[in-house]
Amino acid sequence: MDRTDAGLPQGESITGLRGPSTIELSWQDKTYRTVCYILSTLWVAFTMFPLFWLLTSTFKDPVDIMKMPPDFVPQVPLVYTVQLDYTGVSLPEGLTIEQAIREDMAIATWRVPDWLANIRLGAIRAEAYLDGRKVAETFLPSHQFGWYRGRIWASQRLSDSLVRRELDTALFPIEFDMDLEGGLTRANAGEANEFTAQVAELFGTQLMTTGNPVAVSARRYWPALINNFIGAWRAPARLAPGMTFAGYLSNSLKITLSDILLQWLVSGMAAYALSRILTPRFSRIWTIFFLITMMVPGVATLIPMYELVGKLGLHDKLLGVIIPAIPGAFTIYLFKGFFDALPGDIFDSARIDGASEFSIFFRLVLPMSKNVFTVIGLLTFLSSWNNFFWPYLVLRSPRVWTFTIAIYMAMGGSGAAGTQYGNAMASAVMASLPTVLVFALFSRSIQQGMVWSGLKG
């Protein structure tokens, strides 16, 4: 059963390159081949470059993403440690030492990143000391303050006193360990660098704390390399409480799987009827009825379709994306070409045996047509998964967004572009993993399908 018989355009053989490899090559041919290797290698490297750039950039700190000239290898972000000493400080009236430490920790962790928005900051740690013992510690990785960095704080909306009030809200989570009696184990603090002095300078000038700032130090913090991923994973919660990036992915997945199933079922059955059930005359009429719609571009039906989806009450629903994708003229064409090429005797003998058309289709045709079902499934997967415009038009509220809309929105936000680029690129990498995986697994079928669909009219 050769697919080239299936009434499809020529040139779909994806088997290895046939060529006169047995013939001895002349020196010119060898030179030419070498040149081809060199040029192909360079060109492949160029073609792959955007992917490389996407991948490396997702590991960069937002500050490095906006750096000029950019780094080719992401640098490891640093964790800055601020040490505050409470030995012998006089507490303001009505404030216990616990409260004072708590407030200072909040100021140190939330306001330092805000004031120094140009530092590659993987995390910030504040430590409180009392009589030489470490009594409290708080730690804030940058994906938590990432989005707020340089936004809310720089606008002076939140002063130190506001920070104190906001302490317990979910917006600025502060988690910390405190043990006033015993003492906590000390972490390896690190060393001074050009920015530690800047951080130290903030205390006493911009940031008023009860405790005395004693030392600021920095050291490498490897986990911060995946901050963009964590940030991107959690970012949807800002728009729809409790949602993670998985929500967008699952919306995309629901649409994609429904599209595949419907294409298989609706187009497959229709093509089977055209190919094997109807009389030639009817078959021709209905084939034209289906295939002629390939000539009508989507834009011609865009406005009425939007209106129709609204009338059906499907705006802002996943079904509003799934249902308009049901008519697939090209898949009918592919299916029909394939079914036409199946040997007719099988159908005749099955019918003589009294099999109904349904059982012929599901028991006989399906198992024989794994190839074409796979190719159509994969083509539908790629186009549905990556679909942007129609979902963007129909799905308005964040809860039903597909990942493509989410990435587009993350890119589109003006200002603080660095943060957003980091998030958007990390989202893009996460959303690419399924397609790259499918592509690697089904490379052959996909390439086959691409040749077919690339030549469609």
Partner 1 sequence: MAVYESMSTRTKPRSRTLERIGRTIPGILFLTPAVVAFLLLRYYPLIRGLLMSLYRWDVANPPGTYVGVQNFVLTIRSEVFRILLINTFALYAFGLLCGFWVPIVQSLLLSELRLGHYVYRFLYVLPVAVPGIASLMVWKYIWHPQAGLANAVMQGLGLPTQLWLSDPQLVKLTLRLPGLLGGGMGILIYLAAIQNISVETIEAAIMDGASAPQRAWYIVLPSILPIVGILFVLSLTGSLLTFDDVWIMTAGGPGYASTTLVMGVYQRAFVQNQFGIGSAWAVVILVMTLILTLGRLYTMREERM
- Dihedral (C-alpha) 208, 211, 212, 217: value to the nearest 10 degrees? -90
Q: Shortest distance, CB of residue 395 to partner 1, whole angstroms?
A: 14
The token pair that represents 33 in the structure block: 């081949």
- Positive or negative CA dihedral for 114, 118, 121, 126? negative
Q: Measured from the CB atom, is 106 or 431 closer to partner 1?
A: 431
Q: Measured from the CB atom, is 70 or 313 closer to partner 1?
A: 70
Contacts of 368 (CB under 8 A, 6+ apart): 1, 342, 346
Q: Measured from the CB atom, is 105 or 274 closer to partner 1?
A: 274
Q: Shortest distance, CB of residue 263 to partner 1, whole angstroms?
A: 10
Q: Shortest distance, CB of residue 386 to partner 1, whole angstroms?
A: 4
Q: Shortest distance, CB of residue 107 to partner 1, whole angstroms?
A: 30
Q: Measured from the CB atom, is 46 or 188 closer to partner 1?
A: 46
Q: Measured from the CB atom, is 323 or 341 closer to partner 1?
A: 323
Tokens 């992917």 found at: 51
CB 321 within 8 A of CB 255: yes
Q: Measured from the CB atom, is 89 or 411 closer to partner 1?
A: 411
DSSP code of 133?
E
Please provide the distance, in angstroms rounded to a whole number, between the alpha carbons at the two ends of the chain: 25
- Positive or negative CA dihedral for 359, 361, 367, 373? negative
Alpha-carbon gap, residue 51 to 57, rounded angstroms: 10
Q: Shortest distance, CB of residue 428 to partner 1, whole angstroms?
A: 4
Q: Estimate to the nearest angstrom the gap between the alpha carbon of 68 and the chain centroid.
A: 26
Q: Shortest distance, CB of residue 435 to partner 1, whole angstroms?
A: 5
Contacts of 438 (CB under 8 A, 6+ apart): 378, 381, 382, 446
Alpha-carbon gap, residue 372 to 43, rounded angstroms: 32
Q: Measured from the CB atom, is 225 or 450 closer to partner 1?
A: 450
Q: Estimate to the nearest angstrom the gap between the alpha carbon of 22 and the chain centroid.
A: 47
